[in-house]
Amino acid sequence: MPRLMLHLHSLLVQEQRRLVLWAPVGLALGAVLYFGLLHTEPNLPVGFVLPCGVAVLASIAAWRRRYSLWGRLLWGGCITVAIGFAAAWGGTHRHTPMPDLPRFATEIAGTVQAIALLPPEDGMDAPFQRRVDLAQAVFYNALDDGMPPLRRVLSVYLQPNDPAALRVGDHLRVKALLQPPPFPVLPGARDRQFEAWFANQAGSGRALGFVQLVVLAQGHKLQLRFENLRERINARIHTILPGPEGGVAATVLVGASETVEKQLREDFAASGLAHLLAVAGLHLGIVMGLVMAASRLLLATTEYTALRWPCKALAAFCAWGAGLVYVLLTGAHLPAQRSLLMAAVAVLGIAAGRRVVSMRGLAVAACVLVLWMPQVVMGVAFQMSMAAVMALVAGYEVLQPKLMRWRASTTGLGHWLAWHSVVLALTSVLAGCATLPVAMAHFGVIQPFFVVANMVAVPLMAVWIMPLGLIALAFMPLHMDAPFLWLLGVGIRPIIWLAHMVAHWPAARVVVPHMPRWGLLAVMLGLCWICLWRQRWRWAGCAGLVLGVVSPWLLVQPDVIISPDGGLVGVRESDKIYVMGQSRAARPVMQAWGQYFAQPVGIFPPEGETPDGALTCGAENTPDTCVALLHGQDVVVRRQDASDGRLLLPVDICTGADVVISVAPLRASCLNAPIRLDRFSAWENGAEAIFLHKSGNVLRTDRAWRGQRPWVLKPGGHGMPVLPLAPSE
């Protein structure tokens, strides 16, 4: 043990200049500890005051042990984890509680905050559907009379044939049927209530009538101006480029990704080109690179400015200003904000004469982002962005000397093209391999041909699509943008064709089961271990990567699952998931189940049995009841009951049943069954999963899995009641 500690100490001494790079990792671990491991929400003293006190005490201890490497490592880790925990608690409680939305059709009045055009589902001849985000919404019904305006945003889907001409800032009134953010379809599945809490969303709804404009848009707020500008540019793009080319062009120029058709989006995802439809570092880097090159060339054309002004620094600041406008124009989404923050660090490095692309710049950007919005550590955008950039920086730290020697030793056009092809392939491999486990965890897919698609699509995006798009935006006020948009569409068509072709190759989209949280954590820590160190011990992080990648197959999956509303019951066998029952949300629930288990999902007929005979429905004069024999356990499922549970299940079916599930209330049926689940239990506990085993069955519920947290709605999806304002005297 002393020799091992001495060896570790020598390794840390060699890597001591890299220890500061682990500060954002500690902050992220503190946020993960708060968001992912707690089941009860801590109060102010425990959630914020105690971590801050720990950080202060650890800072004092670190100062007193500043000459000890182990002391700095230990107490520095305590500081960052405590600060990350406190930042997560503060970021959570900055948001207002979820309101209790009406469960019946009601009149809504609010101010239009954003307008989104959604592609038609019935073909290109159908009109685009509009979705409006309403701020300061007020409900007009007897229960909510006198209520204060909501401090969260409501998303309302308008009727396709609504003739109202809307602009951001308009005050409108519409009758709609609202619903809160949905519950997870499985314990441990995607939590849309968590996402809605931090996105300041209150829920969504569908309009039952036409919109009535109350007050037209007034004021000159910067946000309103940019939103209206985005809407006009989006409409202009779709006028010149109808079809899928217009959706891709609107995505990269104004961030209107919702206009991309579903099939095209799936093709981009299956071919590994989904990042082209998410405005982030790639698009911002191209925009800033073009503006910086043009600005520096313009400054160098004049002898006075070339000799007396810091042209490189000025061009970098101009490029960052253009990047800021581009981020605002595309909606200022989180990946774009992260990229703009990293670009700011790079610009400051250029101005100070420091190296621009470095792991320290990435660490500074990550620290600021986690402290500002700690919930990003749980999102796919932050994880994929950080994994890709970290892998690129670490990879080129090792490969760049060899690449530069090879480039200096070769001449000619052929060698130049070969060098750029190799660099592009290396970039795609590094970024793709680093983000592949993250895509497995969040999307349940692997795209093995991403390198082939990116080697063609990314250069075309950099040298053709984005330059022509910027030129079109510049000429749009002069109404001279049509030729450039047409050429832009010409460049988009090959990418669409490539995405479609690669997506239909054999094994282009390999589905994998759900990755547990500890598997994703092992992947991210292993990747950080490989990228943040420089010595040979960095390769020990491969163990974390391998453990995380194989974790979906190490996880024991449930055998029976119940939807959050209790209307659907799924019985999982080795080759398929058989679903019984009825639900208004049957389609999204079944899709989510299929992605979670990486198995096909199908509705089981009212009568029949599976090929192996494990599941039988409609036998023994019980047309609405199915019986399954799984792992030696008898599972009884009542899939439909017109009497709403007043008709009891037969005694012979209940005898010997280990699990009894009913889409209607069970009431007095099968009282001796060890596990009894019905509509009431689903209403109270959310989605439920049953693990069958001969030694004993285990029931896991969504409410027990997530615990009592601010973003978890009450049973039935109820939130905080919207109380009316007190009457004024």
Instruction: Supply the pLDDT for residue 195.
Output: 93
Rounded-to-integer distance, Cα 606 and Cα 48, Å: 55
Instruction: Supply the pLDDT for residue 357.
Output: 67
Rounded-to-integer distance, Cα 444 and Cα 4, Å: 40
Instruction: Supply the pLDDT for residue 121.
Output: 62
| Mean residue pLDDT across the chain | 86
Q: Average pLDDT of 539-543? A: 92
Q: Average pLDDT of 308-334? A: 86
**pLDDT of residue 604 exceeding 80:** yes
**pLDDT of residue 326 exceeding 80:** yes
Instruction: Supply the pLDDT for residue 524.
Output: 95
Rounded-to-integer distance, Cα 554 and Cα 648, Å: 40
Instruction: Supply the pLDDT for residue 266.
Output: 84
Instruction: Supply the pLDDT for residue 270.
Output: 81
Looking at per-residue pLDDT, the higher value among 109 and 128 belongs to: 109
For residue range 397-448, list pLDDT tens digits in order.
Answer: 888 888 777 777 767 777 777 777 777 778 888 888 898 899 889 988 888 8
Instruction: Supply the pLDDT for residue 329.
Output: 86
Rounded-to-integer distance, Cα 104 and Cα 116, Å: 25
Rounded-to-integer distance, Cα 617 and Cα 628, Å: 9
Please, which pLDDT band fits residue 218 given cuts at 50, 70 and 90?
A: low
For residue range 471-503, list pLDDT tens digits in order.
Answer: 999 888 888 888 999 999 888 999 999 988 988
Tokens coding 87: 């930042």
Tokens coding 92: 């959570």
DSSP 718: B
Compute the C-alpha angle 327/269/234, nearest 5°. 40
**pLDDT of residue 125 exceeding 60:** no
Instruction: Supply the pLDDT for residue 127.
Output: 63
Instruction: Supply the pLDDT for residue 28.
Output: 96
Q: Which CATH number fits domain 106-218: 3.90.1170.50, 3.30.930.10, 2.40.50.140, 3.40.50.300?
A: 2.40.50.140
**pLDDT of residue 219 exceeding 60:** no
Please, which pLDDT band fits residue 286 given cuts at 50, 70 and 90?
A: confident
Instruction: Supply the pLDDT for residue 402.
Output: 81
Instruction: Supply the pLDDT for residue 520.
Output: 94
**pLDDT of residue 504 exceeding 90:** no
Please, which pLDDT band fits residue 260 given cuts at 50, 70 and 90?
A: confident
Q: Average pLDDT of 200-205? A: 92
Are the CB atoms for 281 and 460 separated by under 8 Å? no
Instruction: Supply the pLDDT for residue 728.
Output: 60
Report the 10 Å Cβ neighbour count for 7: 11
Rounded-to-integer distance, Cα 304 and Cα 36, Å: 58
Report the 10 Å Cβ neighbour count for 17: 9
Q: Average pLDDT of 111-124? A: 73
Q: Average pLDDT of 196-219? A: 85
**pLDDT of residue 89 exceeding 90:** yes
For residue range 19-53, list pLDDT tens digits in order.
Answer: 899 999 999 999 999 999 999 999 999 999 999 99
Domain ranges of the chain: 18-94, 106-218, 379-446+513-555, 560-715
Please, which pLDDT band fits residue 693 given cuts at 50, 70 and 90?
A: confident
pTM score of the predicted model: 0.89
Instruction: Supply the pLDDT for residue 727.
Output: 66
Q: List, as one string, the DSSP characters of 561-606.
A: EE-TTS-EEEEE-SS-EEEEE--TTHHHHHHHHHHHHTS-EEEPPS
